[in-house]
Amino acid sequence: MLDNLDLNLALEKDDYKAQIESLMQELRVLQQACWEKKLPALFVLEGWAAAGKGLLVKKMVGYIDPRGFTVHPIWPATEAERQYPFLWRFWQKLPQSGTIGFFYHSWYTRVLEDRLFGRVAEAEVPIVMRQINAFERQLVDDGAAIGKFWIHISKKELKKRLKTAAADPLDAWRVRPEDWQQAKNYDQYATFAEEMFAQTSTGTAPWTLVEGNDQRWARVKVLTKMATTLTEALDRLQFRSPPPTLPPQEKLEPTEPDLLAQVDLSQSLSRDEYKEQLREEQTRLRELQLEIYQQQIPVLVVFEGWDAAGKGGAIKRLTDVLDPRSYIVSPFAAPTDEEKAHHYLWRFWRRLPPPGKIGIFDRTWYGRVLVERVEGYASETSWRQAYKEINEFEEQLTSAGYVLVKLWLHISSDEQLRRFEERQQNPFKNYKITAEDWRNREKEPFYYVAINQMIQRTSTPAAPWSIVAGNDKYYARVKVIQMVIQAIETELKRRK
């Protein structure tokens, strides 16, 4: 691919001036439109060292309001960043709605420089490519514009530029030892790049290869494509097809399994059994906590369940004997303004526990296919897409070594009613029950369908759901701890 680029392409000064003038106007208007339509945009600059990426970023931002963008220079991941899935640090840096993020180097360093220097295992490369594609597709499906540029120069030109830069006192500091390595291994690096184009030039976020020997040509090409990318994303917003208006599904289809109905809700423990088993399991969990810490394994336990299913009590028993420095409980309610200005998965990425700790999420990304679906906050297209997005997200966690435990606390409708009424009557508990809980209860059939479909579609081998029978609180609390223990033990065995 790179061989076919005509590196002799160039622009005369007058041509350049005329074209750049109108691009400048266009980009200003487009930035304004993105701001108004709350459209986030990402532009990635990759390519050879000394290919002029820095100057290009400068040109790209030169025509727009500096309050509406951020430039992210991406260097090798720090030790803290390497503790998380590799896309974690890029999730932290996503532009919020209406703003533009420029990435000078990007997540692609993982399949370029990291690969050249052996910082990523060859076997991992296809997985990384797939995760990158999922990442970009998720953003584009959420309305973002993505432009990716590879600035290409010939081997000869690269060497010449590095030598010139190294000789200039104002520029010498920019030339890293890695850059010389790149020149030395030009052909190898080019092969990596070609593979990267083949794997990640997708319909949603294609690569633009830029002939970089002539700077004027490169600028006009990049700025033109930047304008097109924004225009197309704005058009997509405008002409987004209206969400299908199917009536909400009140009953499962006969072909759909009713997983909730298969749960034996009569399972229970006597008070004595509970006390004994709870102590036993808690003790075991405490031992495992030490192993998690020593082996630096990240654990994430996610709690979902019907209102009044006993999530709070179960979390309390789970954490009771743990060292409070070893876990972090993150409750998620309705998203804040800042959270709403990002992809719905953003707030969960931000709160991932580091290795060695147990993160406990009280409600999660599954809100997308539960409350957001049932209440109509997410369009049908969006929540249907979410199954795939969630599976991809969880795959990234488990493949990065996370122990992921997904618990659905199930109670019968009668039991829920009994608990609601009890809460209402108990002055110490009635703050727990609101008009919203009663309203949700009226929508129970819709939730019943949504829950079943969620469990069915997001139970993957690496991240299965566990449905916990919750009518008896004693039984449920012990079961929750057992599920966590089991998951940790499985991971410990795998690592041996």
Residues that bind a copy of itself (CB under 8 A): 32, 36, 54, 57-58, 61-62, 65-67, 69-71, 73, 78, 80, 102, 104, 170, 173, 287, 290, 294, 312, 315-316, 319-320, 323-325, 328-329, 331, 336-339, 360, 362, 431
Residue nearer to a copy of itself on the CB measure, 330 or 382: 330
131 versus 319: smaller Cβ distance to a copy of itself: 319
SS (H, E, C) the chain: CHHHCCCCCCCCHHHHHHHHHHHHHHHHHHHHHHHHHCCCEEEEEEECCCCCHHHHHHHHHHCCCHHHEEEEECCCCCHHHHCCCCCHHHHHCCCCCCCEEEEECCHHHHHCHHHHCCCCCHHHHHHHHHHHHHHHHHHHHCCCEEEEEEEECCHHHHHHHHHHHHHCCCCHHHCCHHHHHHHHCHHHHHHHHHHHHHHHCCCCCCEEEEECCCHHHHHHHHHHHHHHHHHHHHHHHHCCCCCCCCCCCCCCCCCCCCCHHHCCCCCCCCHHHHHHHHHHHHHHHHHHHHHHHHHCCCEEEEEEECCCCCHHHHHHHHHCCCCHHHEEEEECCCCCHHHHCCCCCHHHHHCCCCCCCEEEEECCHHHHHCHHHHCCCCCHHHHHHHHHHHHHHHHHHHHCCCEEEEEEEECCHHHHHHHHHHHHHCCCCHHHCCHHHHHHHHCHHHHHHHHHHHHHHHCCCCCCEEEEECCCHHHHHHHHHHHHHHHHHHHHHHHC
Closer of 126 and 331 to a copy of itself (Cβ)? 331
Nearest approach, Cβ of residue 264 and a copy of itself (Å): 29
Which residue, 129 or 288, is less far from a copy of itself as judged by CB? 288
The answer to whether 97 touches 41, Cβ cutoff 8 Å, is no
Evaluate whether 132 touches 192 at the Cβ level (below 8 Å): no
The region, left, alpha or beta by phi > 0 then psi within -120 to 50, assigned to residue 75 is beta
Look up tokens 């007058």; give the residue. 14
Q: Work out how close the CB of 284 gets to a copy of itself at its nearest, in angstroms, rounded to a whole number.
A: 13
Question: How far apart are CB 187 and a copy of itself at their closest, in Å?
Answer: 29
Q: Tell me how far, at minimum, the Cβ of 301 lies from a copy of itself, in Å.
A: 12
Q: Which CB sits closer to a copy of itself, 7 or 329?
A: 329
Q: Compute the least distance from the CB of residue 66 to a copy of itself, in Å.
A: 4
Q: Which is nearer to a copy of itself, 239 or 431 (CB)?
A: 431
Smallest gap from Cβ 397 to a copy of itself, in A, equals 21
Bridge partner residues of 465 (DSSP)? 406
Q: Which is nearer to a copy of itself, 90 or 446 (CB)?
A: 90
Minimum Å gap between C-beta 170 and a copy of itself is 7
- Nearest CA to 479 out of 298, 356, 294, 305 is that of 305
In the bound state with a copy of itself, the residue whose beta carbon lies nearer, of 170 and 246, is 170
* Dihedral sign for Cα atoms in the order 367, 370, 376, 380: positive
Would you say 123 or 334 has its CB closer to a copy of itself? 334
Residue with Cβ nearer a copy of itself (175 or 455): 175
C-beta of 17 vs 316, nearer to a copy of itself: 316
Cα separation, 114 vs 227, in Å, equals 31
Closest approach of Cβ 324 to a copy of itself, in Å?
A: 4
Shortest CB 119 distance to a copy of itself, Å:
19
Residue 311 or 406: the one with the smaller Cβ distance to a copy of itself is 311
Cα gap 74→80, rounded to integer Å: 15
Count CB-CB contacts under 10 A for residue 212.
30
Q: How far is the CB of 154 from a copy of itself (least distance, A)?
A: 25
Q: How far is the CB of 67 from a copy of itself (least distance, A)?
A: 4
> What is the smallest separation between the CB atom of 191 and a copy of itself, expressed in angstroms?
28
Least spacing, CB of residue 478 vs a copy of itself, in Å:
18
Q: Are 205 and 146 in contact (CB under 8 A)?
A: yes
HSE toward the beta carbon, residue 177, CA cutoff 13 A: 1
Nearer Cβ to a copy of itself (286/388): 286
